[in-house]
Every structure is written in C-alpha cells, then in structure tokens.
Amino acid sequence: MTQQATAVTNIPGPPPLGGRLRIAFLGPFGTFTEQAVWQIAPAGAELIPAASAPQALEAVRNGVADRAVVPIENSIEGGVNATIDTLSRGEDLHIVAEMIVPVRFVLAALPGTRLDDVRSVGTHPHAWAQCRRWAETSLPEVVHVPTTSTAAAAELLGSFASEEAERPFDAVLCNAPSVERYGLVPLVSDVADNPGAVTRFIMAARSGNVPPATGADKTTIQVSLPSDEAGALLMMLEQFSVRGVNLSRIESRPAGDGLGHYAFSIDIAGHVREERVQAALVGLHRTCPKVQFLGSYPRVDGIRAEIRRGTKDSDFVEARNWVESIARLGA
C-alpha cells in the first residue's frame, strides 16, 4: 500500500532511481513518523510504510526506496537503538535532514469500550515510557503490550472491530490521526507525563551527497574507542574540545564483539565542510580504530554553532599557511 504526498519542498540527497521519489517510513499510515514525512516530502512522492525502522532503512540499501524517515531520538526516552545500530551496520547511509514532531497521545479503544474495561494497552515501548506515570496513576492494574509503532497498535485493534475473537489488548496509546483512521474512539486525550515531549526523526539516503553547509548544521558520526584503558574516552573527547567543536548528543552502543566493547554515536554541532569539524575528524581518524561518517545536514531548530575564538575557518587556514611557510624554509 502506498500513498502520495502533497507537500512541496526541496529534498536533499541523490536523485531518485525511478521516476518519482520513494520514501520508506516506520508505518503503518498514521504514525508520528508519517507526520515527520509530511514536513519534508515533495509533491508526488510515493510513501512506503515499513514494519520497523530497520526495515525502512534497509529499503534504501536494497533500492526499494530512495529515502527513509525513521525516529532516532526522543526527549524522554533518549536514542532509538534500532535506528542507531542499523545506520552504523551495513552499506553506508547518510542522514540528509532531520525533523521534530511534538508527541501527544490519545488512549483509544473500539466503540463500546469503557475506561473501566481497560486491562491492557498496546503501544510502542517509547510511547509507553512517555506515559508510564500517567498509566500507573490512572490505570494501576493495566499491562503494557509492546507493538512496533503506535499506529500499528491502532491498526491491529481496529481490525477486530467486526470479529468475536479475543482482542490482543483492550486499548492503545496512539496519536489523534490514528484514532479516526482505524475506527477507534478516544477514551482519554492529551496523555503524557511530559507535555513538552518531542521526537526527532531523520531522513536517510544512499551515501554520495552531503547537503551544503548553512551555518546551523549537525554532523553525525560513530566512533570506536582506541583501547579499553583509563582515559580512552577522554582522549576521544579531547579531539573535539581542543578544536572548539560542541556535541549535541553522545551515547554508547555495544560494538557487538564482546562485553565491554562499545562504540559512541555522536552528533556534532557543525558541518563536515567547516575547518574545525574537519580537524576533529582528522584527529579521530588518527587515534581511533573506526570512525563512521553518517551525514552532515541542516539543524531543524536553526541554532547556529557558537564559534570559539581561534576556531573560525579563517583561523585554521591562516595557521596552516603559517606552518607551510615555515616548512618551505630552506627547501
């Protein structure tokens, strides 16, 4: 099942393989991810729902889609591990854009269901984490049933509207569009432990095209530590600090080759075409066994990086020219 987008925008990354842009996203239709897609999808794009974030990303690797939109970070629960791990493993994909969607949930059920009837709730684990305190207070006996997305829970429950079979759960936590789409009715609106919660989404494409620098950019990388010894993490972080490069996100992920071995997923405040970012990446490449570049792209909030004295592009160029002039003496 596909759906055509109607929003008009310029979309970064390489040109589509076919006649129109195909965008895989964490489905089904009605997810918060689909809301993120609408922020950037061009007119005539083909939307392809995927059962999971890894499947959406693999659709780009396999040539089934030209782009993938998936969640990567939530302001309450943190990083989305499935996205972070899939980006760093397999054929290179580059992040070309990011989107932010405010997250508000509705407790919904099939018509005829009362709030007192709810003993189990289906939803994505990140959604449950954002509503756990509310559920413990309002529905203290309720059991969480994990699903691949909030809309997947709504779609599944809605499919039991005309069946006598036992339902997988009594209610769902989903967004408002999914309630109507899948024939449910709201029991409680505006459910959230933190009313200001947001989820950050990224658009990934095949490697090869990096959007131009805007002055308000992020660069995402994954770095393995050089050794399991005291000070290894500090040495890695110093590559950023001495060059005036700030980090907006850093989190560890298992390297997959044994206990105690970790890589770090990092968002840098800056673009790979900036001298200070390039200098930091050179330092990491020299001192760390593996550095993966996962994209430079505009920040959706438009916040420009604070450039410390001595770390402007011109400062690096001037310093490099000075060293080169010394090296030429007597040559």
Residue 324 counted as domain residue = no
Domain limit, last residue, from 148, 180, 206:
206
Residue 323 counted as domain residue = no
Confidence category of residue 259, pLDDT binned at 50, 70, 90: confident
Domain containing residue 16: CATH number: 3.40.190.10
Closest of 206, 211, 223 to residue 261, by C-alpha: 223
Residue 88 counted as domain residue = yes
Phi first, then psi: what are they for 58, rounded to 5°? Answer: -65, -30
- Percent helix, strand, coil in the chain, to 5, is 30, 30, 40
Segments forming the whole domain that contains residue 299: 217-318
Q: What digits encode the pLDDT tens for the residues 200-240?
A: 999 999 998 899 999 999 999 999 987 667 788 898 999 99
Domain limit, last residue, from 156, 182, 206:
206
Asked if 57 and 118 sit in the same domain, the reply is no
What predicted TM-score, i.e. pTM, was given to this entire model? 0.85
Q: What digits encode the pLDDT tens for the residues 2-51?
A: 444 333 334 666 666 656 899 999 999 999 999 999 898 887 889 999 99
Domain containing residue 290: CATH number: 3.30.70.260
Asked if 187 and 228 sit in the same domain, the reply is no
Q: Read off the tokens for 253.
A: 């992920």
Residue 237 counted as domain residue = yes
Asked if 172 and 241 sit in the same domain, the reply is no
Residue 331 counted as domain residue = no
Cβ–Cβ < 8 Å for 253, 264 = yes
Identify which has the larger pLDDT, 102 or 10.
Answer: 102
Asked if 74 and 148 sit in the same domain, the reply is no
Closest of 97, 101, 106 to residue 69, by C-alpha: 97
How many structural domains does the chain have? Answer: 3
Asked if 77 and 18 sit in the same domain, the reply is yes
Asked if 234 and 265 sit in the same domain, the reply is yes
Closest of 50, 55, 104, 99 to residue 76, by C-alpha: 104
